[in-house]
A and B are shown apart, each in its own frame.
Chain A
Amino acid sequence: MTEAGIPWKKFTLEIESRVEAVPLLGQVVYQLCTAAGVSPSEGNQLEVCVVEAVNNSIKHGCEGDPACGVELEVSLSPQQLVFDIWDSGNAVDVAKIHGDHSHALDASADRVKDIPENGRGLALIQKLMDSFEYSPGAQRNRFRMIKHRDPDLFDRSSPCKTEAHPYQTAFSWCSAELGSQKVDEREGADYSR
C-alpha cells in the first residue's frame, strides 16, 4: 500500500528479443496506463517510450539474438509510473545513454538530405519521461524510466480504482491478449529494487 492507502501494482511481461514481439508489449503498456487513469495522449507517449527502450535493448543489448530475453516491469502508483526494461545482452556504454540527446530532435528543413533517419529514440524518452537511468549488471542490464503523476489529475473513476480489484480491468485485458506470453501481477513489490 502507498502512504495514501491506495494500492499500487507491479506487472511483469517477458518477450523474445524480436522487434515483432514489441507491438503487443506496447499495447499492453497503453492499456495498463490508461486503465490506471492516464490520459490517452499521455498513454500513447508512454507507450512510445517503452517501445523505444525495448527496441534499443533488442538492437543494442541483445544484438538481435532471440534467445536473449527482454523483460518489462511496469509499476503503477498514484504518484509515479516506473518502467524497467531488463535484458541479458551486452552492456551498452552508460555515458552514451546518459548524455544530452536533444540534438537528435533538431531537424532543419534546410538540409533534408542530412537529417538522420535513426537515433531519435533516446531523445524522445528524454523529452517525454521525467527521468531515465541505465544500469548495466553482471547478469542483466536495466533501463529505468520514471514518469511522475500529478495527483490532482489522477482519474479516480478509473477502472483500476475499483475497491475490490484495483487494476483488474487492465490485468484481465493483458491476460486475454498475451496468451502464451508471461504476465505476472503482484502487489507490494519494492520500488527500490
Chain B
Amino acid sequence: MKLAERKVGAYSILEVLESRLGADKAVAFKEAVGRHLSGGTASVVLDLSQVEFIDSSGLGAILSILKRMPKGRELILCGTTDSVMSMFKLTRLDRIFTMKKNVDEALTTLAI
C-alpha cells in the first residue's frame, strides 16, 4: 500500500498512491493510515486524486478511518475522481465525509 505523507503547518496530508482501492488493498490501507494517525496529532487531508477505482471494501476502509479519528481531529477527503465520487454518491457516504475539490481547498477549510 503506497501512501505519501507531507506536513503543511499543523496538518497532515496523506496522498494515496494507488489507482485502485478495493478488497485486495483495504486491509493494508487501513493499517497504513492507522500508523499515520497513531503517530501524530494533526487533522488529516486524504488526497484521493490518484484513485480511479473504488469498491465497497475501499469505501468501508475510508469509513473506518473516519470512525477511528481521535476527538478533535478532522478528516477531509479531496481530489476524488469522477468514478470515485460516483461511488460515494451511490452509497450516500458523500453526506458523511467532508469532501473538497483539492488539497488547497481542504487546507483552507481546516484553517477556518
- Chain A residues within CB distance 8 Å of chain B: 19-20, 22-23, 26, 41, 44-45, 47-48, 51-52, 55, 59, 105-109, 112-113, 115-121, 123-124, 127-128
Contact = CB atoms under 8 A, between A and B. Distances in A.
Given A106-B92, A117-B63, A20 B56 contact: no
A26 B53 contact: yes
Contacts of A51: 22-23, 55
B91 A120 contact: yes
B86 interface: yes
A59 B67 CA distance: 24
Contact of B53 (A44, A55, A107): A44
B90 interface: yes
A156 to B, nearest CB: 25
A184 to B, nearest CB: 24
Given A23-B24, A107-B92, A124-B90, A52 B67 contact: no
B67 A55 contact: no
23 contacts: A19-B22, A19-B24, A22-B22, A23-B20, A23-B24, A41-B82, A41-B86, A44-B83, A44-B86, A48-B55, A51-B55, A52-B56, A55-B23, A107-B93, A107-B96, A113-B67, A116-B60, A117-B60, A117-B63, A118-B57, A121-B55, A127-B90, A128-B90
Interface string B38-62: 0000000000000001011101110
A59 to B, nearest CB: 8
A124 B56 contact: yes
A181 to B, nearest CB: 16
With most chain B CB atoms within 10 A of its CB, the pick from A107, A109, A123 is A107
B35 interface: no
Contacts of A113: 67
B23 A124 contact: no
B96 A115 contact: yes
With most chain A CB atoms within 10 A of its CB, the pick from B61, B66, B91 is B91
B9 to A, nearest CB: 26
Given A109-B96, A121-B55, 19 more contacts: A19-B22, A19-B23, A22-B24, A23-B24, A26-B53, A41-B83, A51-B23, A51-B55, A55-B22, A55-B23, A55-B57, A107-B92, A107-B95, A113-B67, A115-B96, A117-B60, A118-B56, A120-B56, A123-B91
B62 to A, nearest CB: 9
B46 to A, nearest CB: 16
A52 B60 CA distance: 13
